[in-house]
């Protein structure tokens, strides 16, 4: 059963890009993928059911990649209801559940704010495709509707609270509810004191720089103080309505904020300014934002980062594999390269039932051994836009000794695409 589940995770991690090779017009709605039913009832693609190595797949292993190859989709939610009319800010609770289930099926890693900050600050690595879940304002439905689902999936999440809306009155949360969520995966961030609108800020601006600074200190500083008194460390902020000015941003480090979130959509890499982090606001009446947010297939401008040391390549002293491979070590290929192949027929004493292939960003991949040529091959499910990939092949000899070979190669995102397919 475990092995099936593991195989399934692998299948899920491919789900998003698998559609690319579908010759018929594809429905781009990831929530309409046919396996999208219920987390327990996912159909296992026939081709993966009999994966000869399925028994040995390690538990949901998704390998970390070098820091500048990770992309994080930050999702922003507000209010939830199963019965109220949906709107931008009001999402159907059952749709939220489907979205959370999709994140799991697609093989994304849902990270905590702590992990996000450590990655940004350079003290940890993460898998290639991560999701950070944030919920703004502190609506009661976060506790009644979203929290049970997040808890069920075991996803960490961040609540951006504004302190004038935290007394249990109306539709607001109580501090006790927040504390319970904190004990079950929630990180608390600030969303100011009174959730001012741009017109309020403009009015303060007209009163002069000093009045403006006083208001910034109050909205950003007091909220941080009050929330940390109630809930402990508060070191992240999210701008109400996404509205922010240079005068605000300049004062933020003074209040201890390490990151501040906007409402400008886009994947987060290690390069964005820490006080203007992109975020996808998920609307209740328009599913397209969620679909864009969870589409990691195509690198966005500015997200494929190249440094002098070629991130993701193995250290130069790593010996080349003792057999021919394709793509070759340090070769540069186009994003639509077809397969990764290890030609192991010449290697003495290989027990081919033990051969495993791992690829950075994908973890264990379902590589197949060709019974005639003894080539070990993983056919790529989609185009790859990461700057480079590292491949690890492990096997045992018939005498029981373990062996490993590794190599890496680069991908040129601008290289001409040769394959014909329905999605650019």
Task: List interacting residues with Zn ion (CB under 5 A).
Answer: 136-137, 240
CB 314 within 8 A of CB 407: yes
Q: In this complex, which beta carbon is closest to Zn ion, that of residue 68 or of residue 137? A: 137
Nearer residue to Zn ion within complex by CB, 79 or 388: 79
Residue 220 to residue 257: CA distance in whole angstroms: 9
Alpha helices in 207-267 (DSSP H): 209-216, 223-231, 246-251
Cα angle: 261, vertex 264, 267; to 5 degrees: 80
Is 162 or 255 the residue whose CB approaches Zn ion more closely?
Answer: 162
Q: Do strands 375-379 and 368-369 pair parallel, antiparallel, or not at all (unpaired)?
A: antiparallel
Residue 141 parent element (H or E): helix 140-141
* Beta carbon nearer to Zn ion, 212 or 261: 261
Q: Decide: 340 and 380 in contact? Cβ < 8 Å.
A: yes
For the four alpha carbons of 179, 184, 190 and 195, in that order, the dihedral sign comes to negative
Shortest distance (Å) from residue 78 CB to Zn ion: 7
In the complex with Zn ion, which residue's Cβ is closer, 240 or 335? Answer: 240
* Least spacing, CB of residue 323 vs Zn ion, in Å: 57
Nearer to Zn ion, 126 or 188 (CB): 188
Q: What is the CA radius of gyration of the chain?
A: 24
Kindly list the distances between the CA atom of residue 354 and the CA atoms of 11, 252, 373, in Å, as whole numbers in the listed order.
20, 54, 17
Smallest separation, CB 142 to Zn ion (Å): 12
Evaluate the CA torsion angle 115, 116, 117, 120 in order and state its sign.
positive
- In sequence order, what are the residues at sequence separation of 6 or more whose Cβ sits closer than 8 angstroms to the Cβ of residue 214? none
User: Shortest approach of Zn ion to residue 360 CB, angstroms?
Assistant: 37
Closer to Zn ion by Cβ: residue 201 or 337:
201
């Amino acid at each position: 059963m475990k092995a099936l589940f593991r195989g399934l995770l692998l299948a899920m991690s491919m789900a998003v890009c698998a559609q690319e090779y579908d010759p018929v017009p594809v429905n781009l709605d990831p929530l309409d993928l046919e396996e999208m039913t219920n987390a327990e009832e996912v159909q296992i693609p026939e081709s993966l059911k009999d994966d000869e190595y399925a028994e040995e797949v390690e538990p949901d292993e998704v390998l970390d990649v070098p820091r500048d190859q990770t992309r994080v989709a930050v999702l922003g939610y507000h209010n939830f209801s199963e019965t109220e009319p949906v709107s931008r800010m009001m999402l159907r609770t059952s749709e939220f559940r489907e979205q959370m289930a999709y994140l799991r099926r697609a093989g994304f890693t849902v990270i905590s704010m702590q992990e996000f900050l450590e990655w940004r600050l350079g003290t940890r690595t993460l898998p290639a495709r991560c999701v950070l879940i944030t919920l703004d304002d502190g609506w009661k439905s976060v506790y009644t509707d979203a929290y049970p689902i997040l808890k069920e999936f075991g996803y960490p999440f961040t609540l951006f609270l504004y302190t004038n809306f935290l007394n249990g009155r109306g539709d607001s949360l109580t501090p006790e509810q927040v504390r319970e969520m904190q004990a079950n995966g929630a990180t608390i961030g600030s969303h100011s004191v009174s959730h001012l609108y741009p017109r309020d800020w403009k009015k303060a601006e007209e009163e002069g720089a000093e009045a403006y600074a006083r208001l910034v200190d109050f909205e950003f500083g007091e909220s941080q103080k009050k929330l940390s008194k109630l809930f402990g460390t508060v070191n992240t902020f999210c701008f109400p309505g996404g509205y922010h000015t240079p005068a605000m941003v300049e004062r933020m480090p003074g209040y201890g904020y390490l990151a501040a979130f906007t409402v400008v959509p886009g994947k987060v890499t290690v390069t964005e300014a820490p006080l203007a982090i992109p975020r996808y606001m998920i609307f209740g009446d328009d599913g397209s934002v969620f679909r864009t947010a969870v589409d990691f297939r195509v690198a966005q401008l500015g997200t494929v980062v190249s440094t002098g040391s070629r991130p993701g390549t193995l250290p130069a002293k790593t010996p080349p594999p003792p057999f021919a491979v394709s793509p070759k070590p340090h070769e540069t290929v186009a994003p639509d390269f077809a397969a990764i192949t290890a030609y192991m027929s010449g290697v003495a004493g290989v027990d081919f039932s033990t051969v495993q292939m791992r690829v950075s960003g994908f973890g264990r991949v379902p590589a197949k051994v060709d019974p005639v040529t003894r080539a070990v091959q993983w056919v790529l499910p989609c185009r790859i836009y990461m700057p480079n990939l590292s491949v690890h092949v492990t096997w045992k000899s018939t005498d029981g000794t373990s062996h490993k070979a590794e190599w890496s190669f680069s991908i040129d995102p601008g290289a001409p695409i040769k394959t014909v397919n329905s999605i650019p």
